[in-house]
Amino acid sequence: MATLLIFFVLMNLDLLLRTGHCTETRDQILSITPKTQEQVDILKNVSTQYETALWQPVSPHYIKEETQVHLFVPANSSETVKELLQRHAVAHEVLLANANELIEMQTRNDSTDPRSSATFYERYHSLEDIYYWINRTAHDNPSTVKVILVGSSYEKRPLYALKLSFNDRPNKKAMWTDCGIHAREWISPAFCLWFVHYSLSFYKQNQDITDILDNMDVYVLPVMNPDGYKYTWTSNRMWRKNRSISKTTSCIGADLNRNFDANWCTEGASHNPCTEIYCGAFPESEPESQAVADFLRRHKDTVQLYLSIHSYSQMLLFPYSCSLEEAENHSDLLEMAEEAAQKIRRYYRNIYRYGAGAKTIYLAPGGSDDWAYNLGIKYSFTFELQDRGRYGFLLPPSHISGACNEALIAVKTIALKVIEKT
Ligand code: ARG
Ligand code: ZN
């Protein structure tokens, strides 16, 4: 009996020590809901002055009372930050106590794994692997898949899109999907790979995807921001922007989703290159956004549906984000998003919010969806995939299939509606 008791005491002591150890030395995600203006100011201060990465909201500017803030705090500033919060009686909750472990889980791979092929789409892949996969996919499907060089990045990496085309019908329509505008949103490129793989595997097996591919060419750009994506694999997992160098400061990168010509750099974006929502020097100043804009301008007569894939927060958004104005076909867009969200809820028991961007989240000018819409692509959506903050940008690989399948159902629902309406 006594030994048993000692055993339990030791067990708990060990647990205590281990968890204590973890909280001191690991990168963490904190969830904080400021209750007063003073606490709001402290949080703004913490997220700008310290080496942290704001996960939610996207910029300190949006921190407000009674709204949850998700903050990535690297191990080396963890003590200072927590002390500061405690000193000002700002309550915080540890959302993730060991982000390092999750990061390790996300990069554990890969081509070296002999069983890799079966679970290829349920893992995250480095930029090199994605480039390899793009070429391989086109090579293995010569009659249906082509690689298109859409442009190149600031650091001169290629921007490859895949074109899936199953027939040469006259006046055939098309849809465009880009992934990975924001570097740290890894589930997004994973979705593009999933979508292509699903299309190639289930054509003539699944009615919906067959109808879509019979009626539309499908363009997929898996990594729109390769420089940033590469950087999240090698240097900073929390990087969002591209990697362009600005003339005026040492701060690097522009937010590609603030760089399009749609009420460019008005409220919701920033001229300051040191912020996460820096709009760039002028509209399409960044080679990545310019390349996509050029491609869509050249193909605007065929492309009927524009999709941009982000994470996280589980939302189906449509124009406008750059103003509070209502899109001319608002009720159509709303109906499509609603049906897609309903299907996700029915089949996957997951909740997606939906609506016009500015009214559903915040004003965010210069986005690709609004720009594409104004170009004349009347069905334009931004998806925010899983999750709602439990893991945030560090969604474990085991969640990839669930996240992609539910997003796929939304894509199918919307694409079929577009075919029906046009
Ligand atoms: N979280 C995305 C962003 O901040 C939302 C995109 C919605 N659309 C838009 N045009 N802002 O970029
Ligand atoms: Zn994003």
Q: How far is the CA of 70 from the centre of ligand 2 (A)?
A: 15
Mean pLDDT of the chain: 93
Q: How far is the CA of 180 from the centre of ligand 2 (A)?
A: 8
CB distance 216 to ligand 1 below 6 Å = no
Which ligand lies nearest the alpha carbon of 315? Answer: 1
Q: How far is the CA of 4 from the centre of ligand 2 (A)?
A: 53
pLDDT band at 13; cut points 50, 70, 90: very low
Q: Which of 276, 286, 384, 406 is catalytic?
A: 384
CB distance 58 to ligand 1 below 6 Å = yes
- Residue of the CA atom closest to atom 2 of ligand 1: 310
Residue 71: its pLDDT value, please?
96
CB distance 277 to ligand 1 below 6 Å = no
Residue 18: its pLDDT value, please?
41
* C-beta of residue 219 within 8 angstroms of C-beta of residue 143: no
CB distance 321 to ligand 1 below 6 Å = yes
- Residue of the CA atom closest to atom 9 of ligand 1: 367
CB distance 257 to ligand 1 below 6 Å = yes
pLDDT band at 326; cut points 50, 70, 90: very high
Residue 21: its pLDDT value, please?
45
* Ligand 1 atom with least separation from CA of 317: 7
Q: How far is the CA of 214 from the centre of ligand 2 (A)?
A: 30
pLDDT band at 25; cut points 50, 70, 90: confident
Residue 70: its pLDDT value, please?
96
* Ligand 1 atom with least separation from CA of 369: 10
Q: Which of 240, 257, 311 to mutate to test the pocket of ligand 1 (most atoms within 8 A of CB)?
A: 257
Q: Find the mean pLDDT for residues 187-205.
A: 98
Q: How far is the CA of 421 from the centre of ligand 2 (A)?
A: 29
Q: How far is the CA of 311 from the centre of ligand 2 (A)?
A: 6
pLDDT band at 19; cut points 50, 70, 90: very low
- The candidate with the shortest Cα–Cα distance to 103, out of 49, 184, 43, is 184
Residue 225: its pLDDT value, please?
98
CB distance 317 to ligand 1 below 6 Å = yes
Residue 399: its pLDDT value, please?
97
185 carries an active-site annotation: no
Share of the chain above pLDDT 70, in %: 93
Check whether the bond before 110 is cis (ω within 30° of 0): yes
pLDDT band at 110; cut points 50, 70, 90: low
